Amino acid sequence: MLKATFRSFLAHKGRMVLSALAVLLSVAFVSGTLVFTDTITKTFDDLFKSTASDVSVDPKSDFDKNDLAATGQTPTLQRSVIDKIAKVDGVKEAYADVTLQSITVVDKHNKSVGPTSGAPTIATAWHPTDRSPVKLSSGTEPKGPGEVIIDSDTADKKHVKIGDELRVIAPGNKEFQVKVSGLMSFITTNPGAALISFDSATASQRLLGDPNLITSVSVSAAKGVSDDELKKRVVQTLNDPKNFEVKTAAESAKDSSDSLSGFLNVMKYAMLGFAGVAVLVGIFLIFNTFSMLVAQRTRELGLMRAIGASRADVNRSVLLEAVLLGLVGSTLGLAAGLGLAVGLKALISSVGVDLKGTSLVIKAATPIVAYLVGVIVTVIAAYVPARRAGRVAPMAALREAGAPPQKSIKTRSIIGAVLFGLGALALVAGATASNGGQGGGFLGLGVLFTLLGFIVLAPLLARTVIPALAGWYPKLFGSMGRLSRENALRNPRRTGATAAAIMIGVALVSGMSVAASSMSASFDKQIDKSLGADYTIQSLTGTFPEGVVTAAKKVPGVGEVSTQTMSNATVTADGKAKKDFVVGADPGVDKGFKTTYLQGSGDAAMAAGKAAIGENYANDHHLGLGGKIELAFPNGAKTTVEVGAIRKKEKGAIGFGETLMIPNTIMKKFVPDVQYQIMTINAASGQDATKVGDALKTALEPFPQVKARDQSDYKALISGSIDTFLYLIYGLLGLAIIISILGVINTLALSVVERTREIGLMRAIGASRRQIRRMIRLESMVIAVFGALVGLALGMSWGIGAQRLLAKQGLDVLAVPWGTVIGIVVAAALVGLLAAVMPAFRAARMNVLRAIATD
């Protein structure tokens, strides 16, 4: 039996090529994702370990550094602490670090020199060591307040040369001209950021506004002194745990790795999720392959039973063929996965993250997972056909080979109806749930059970839907049209499984399209409802200086101007303390953002020096007008504010929600270095808003870090972000779509083999090659359109369910993208036609006499 199995596998290898390709693609997606994410993780882990100083001393803050950076605040140390640390026994060298990310650098044409990928532009103090990630590659080191060096990758992309003049714009109204004195090159991984460096004194003065301020101290250990021991000595010397945070190189590297691992894990599991969809689609292709091979080998299997093979022998034989297919597909898929990982490396390098000298990381788990996925998926898909093979009776050897008679699908239909009914109930429960988390859980169950229900019901649906879809075939295409319709209905299970593969991809695409279109339409509605300003100005780097506000106010025709700042703070009310963001605002804030108040108004509160709070915050902390709230800012300043307005809770509204708002006068008094986040502008009464907007954009040209947008610009920005996300989803689902197309090709190709004699007889009685090709194409098209229509119905129900759940958060507009829906149906028909090209060509080119003589 073992020998017979190997011979059978080799004899039918041509018929298993597409199934092997499905396994290959699925395994390639899984293994490529694992190799790529493991490579990225190790690359950055090595980067953090190799560049971290033996010991680092940072200012300690109760607030997250990234949150502080978002508000334009930079925790600092006094430069004098360096001398204190340098005297510690075991210190080889202690030097100042000055690092700032919220900066903008432009060339002489006022064009940004920073990256366009969203990565930051980082300014540092130049102090090369054996742990520096960069080295000076040309020119001279920066000396004095007028010189800077820039990384060579950025210089190449932005056409910056030594001697060029650059303008640096830093937080706190700091703006100055510098000349490029040299270029530095990354000797490790380039994380995609633009990097500029000044000498240490210039960095402190120009970036932090004080030559005595630095952002941290790096410490090198003398020979024979461990990092842990040096850390202990530094801590003892500083003896101020409230203001200093001391870390070893290992601790700093771990913190950096941990901050990155969250993002990498999300990317990894998202990609594996889409790989899972591809695997699921591949199961249908493999299932159809083995089902049809078993049917075509009925006489062969009967002969095996007749000469003594048991049911178990035949069962094991078919499963062993599946294992062989899985091994071959997994081996090729693993190799293709390495190629995919190389391609992904090249892709991220194209957006600036250059993994220099990084070899692919292949952990032991990767090939294990690859082979488990490939073999297990193949065996699962072949299990039912294998059982059918084991039930072939010895007397089958006397019958003509071909498809076995179809059994009733009554039981299957009942199971499918129950699964679909449970799924429908779960979708309804999710759409109507009052709790978002609970609703999401029900929605997930609904998606799962309705999908399973449709898969199980696919044969019944094929019997019902295909006659209607192909009802016009006989009238338009005559006997070939009728035969193509009957062929699609000949084996409903096979047709259903083929269509199910298409259905899954289409359902996911259409479901995401409905949800995304509804989100975009809902945001448009909220912008119209909530945004009252003619123009809103925001920074591309997070914050902007006072000069932007001054320039905007000078524009002719500008009326009401209101600015917002933001800072971290510990907010205490009713004895409950919480670290949160606090917004500073000017009177006129209500004209920029339309807000409904339960008590008071934002404009009046800001003018009176009082705070505005949200309805939920007021209820949770038992606050009314006149209530007191204590604020403690990161710089240690404290104050108490009085409640002057309470906002009404509005779902999905664009505005301040539950965020505490205080007057900018108070914010600037207690947080002098706070930066502007948003500025809203309305045209003066009687002025043309469009002309004012044009003049405003002209006035802001010297400030490339900000952008003025009207309401239509905001809508386009949000719509563009949603579309980008949607295109990414489509791309990740592309592999599943490709496998489903292979499934149609595979089914038709094996169907042609199964019907060899029938096609030969048709040719013998006068059917032309053209008619045979047309018959195959029409059959393929109706199967593809059937799968697409069922997938559309399923996906749109998922999308509508998701929209109804999100409606409770304010995304209450249901928008069905009818253009996408029509496009999917047309695309499915085209896919059906293309999938039929090779099978139809083969069928038409058959030798008539040989075909008739086939058993």
pLDDT band of residue 61 (cuts 50, 70, 90) is: confident
pLDDT at 352 (0 to 100): 65
Helix/strand/coil percentages in the chain, nearest 5? 60, 20, 25
Q: List the single range of 72-86, 400-414, 527-541, 790-804 with lowest mean pLDDT.
A: 400-414
Q: Which amino acid is at 587?
A: P
pLDDT at 356 (0 to 100): 62
Encode pLDDT of 720-778 as tens digits. Answer: 888 888 887 887 777 778 887 877 787 777 777 777 788 888 888 888 889 888 998 89
Flag whether pLDDT at 175 surpasses 90: no
Flag whether pLDDT at 82 surpasses 90: yes
Encode pLDDT of 620-632 as tens digits. Answer: 999 999 999 999 9
The secondary structure of residue 445, as a DSSP letter, is H
Copy the structure tokens of residue 140: 């001279």
Q: Which segment, 47-56, 177-186, 645-654, is predicted with the most confidence on average?
A: 177-186
Q: By three-state DSSP, how is residue 223 classified?
A: coil
- What span, in angstroms and rounded, lies between the C-alpha atoms of 322 and 528? 58
pLDDT at 652 (0 to 100): 61
**Residue 362 CB burial class (10 angstroms; 0-12, 13-18, ≥19):** middle
Q: Which residues contact 281 (CB under 8 A, 6 or more apart)?
A: 22, 501, 504, 505, 736, 739, 740, 743
Copy the structure tokens of residue 227: 């990092």
Copy the structure tokens of residue 322: 């599946």
pLDDT band of residue 406 (cuts 50, 70, 90) is: low
pLDDT band of residue 186 (cuts 50, 70, 90) is: confident
Q: Which amino acid is at 104?
A: T
Average pLDDT over residues 628-652: 89
- What span, in angstroms and rounded, lies between the C-alpha atoms of 272 and 268? 6
- What span, in angstroms and rounded, lies between the C-alpha atoms of 460 and 493? 8
pLDDT at 762 (0 to 100): 86
**Residue 158 CB burial class (10 angstroms; 0-12, 13-18, ≥19):** buried
Flag whether pLDDT at 796 surpasses 80: yes
Copy the structure tokens of residue 771: 């008619």
- What span, in angstroms and rounded, lies between the C-alpha atoms of 185 and 128? 12
Flag whether pLDDT at 90 surpasses 80: yes
Token pair 């309804």: residue: 428
Kindly report whether the global pTM for this prediction surpasses the value 0.85: no
Q: Vertex 756, ends 744 and 464: CA angle to 5°?
A: 45
Q: List the single range of 210-214, 533-537, 746-750 with lowest mean pLDDT.
A: 746-750
Encode pLDDT of 97-143 as tens digits. Answer: 999 887 889 988 888 888 876 678 889 999 998 888 889 999 999 99
Q: Vertex 37, ends 34 and 43: CA angle to 5°?
A: 130
pLDDT at 15 (0 to 100): 64
pLDDT at 94 (0 to 100): 92
Percent of the chain at pLDDT exceeding 90: 32
Q: How far is CA 654 from CA 270, 299, 530, 651, 705, in A?
A: 29, 70, 6, 9, 23
Mean pLDDT score across all residues of the chain? 86
pLDDT at 14 (0 to 100): 66
* Residues 6/11/17/18 CA torsion (nearest 10 deg): -100
Flag whether pLDDT at 271 surpasses 60: yes
* Residues 388/389/394/397 CA torsion (nearest 10 deg): 110
Percent of the chain at pLDDT exceeding 70: 95
Copy the structure tokens of residue 341: 């990982």
Encode pLDDT of 7-16 as tens digits. Answer: 777 776 666 7
**Closest to 124 in 3D by CA, of 100, 106, 105, 107:** 100
pLDDT band of residue 854 (cuts 50, 70, 90) is: low
Q: Is 185 left (phi over 0), alpha (psi -120 to 50) or beta?
A: beta
Average pLDDT over residues 181-204: 89
pLDDT at 434 (0 to 100): 79
CB atoms within 10 A of CB 111: 11
Flag whether pLDDT at 293 surpasses 80: no
Instruction: Name residue 175's beta-bridge partners.
Output: 169
- On whether the CB atoms of residues 330 and 20 are closer than 8 A, the answer is no
- On whether the CB atoms of residues 416 and 322 are closer than 8 A, the answer is no
**Closest to 402 in 3D by CA, of 302, 328, 496:** 302
pLDDT at 399 (0 to 100): 56
CB atoms within 10 A of CB 737: 22
